[in-house]
Amino acid sequence: MQTATLYTHETVSLDGEHFADCEFRKCRLVYAGGEPPSFESCRFDACEWKLEGPAANTLGHLKAVWAAGAKPYVQGLIKEVTGAAR
């Protein structure tokens, strides 16, 4: 677990990590599809979020499904992510 850490201009691998009270400034945050990270009371300033490997493949799949006409499926996932589906 990373606690009260300041990251500045770094590439940070997110898979399987737990961050609490951390601050990310102008970082590249990379998620590759492993165990999801968790964030508690963290702050983000001008960061780039990057998906790689299986995570990027999932995004590609969702784009293909959207383009094929299954927009309600993707919209349902977005509602699930944002909590709007409750």
Instruction: Return mean pLDDT, the chain.
Output: 96
Structural domain for 30, as ranges: 1-51
Q: Are 41 and 81 contained in the same domain?
A: no
Q: Are residues 19 and 46 both part of a single domain?
A: yes
| Structure tokens, 84 | 């709007």
What proportion of the chain, given as a percentage, has pLDDT over 90? 95
Counting residues of the chain whose pLDDT is more than 70, the rounded percentage is 98
Give me the count of residues in the chain.
86
3-state secondary structure of 70: coil
Q: Are residues 24 and 34 in the same domain?
A: yes
Q: Tokens 């001008």 identify what position?
A: 46
30 & 18 share domain: yes
Same domain, 36 and 66: no
Q: Name the pTM for this structure.
A: 0.88
Domain count, the chain: 2
Quick one: which H or E segment has residue 9? Answer: none
Whether 46 and 9 map to the same domain: the answer is: yes
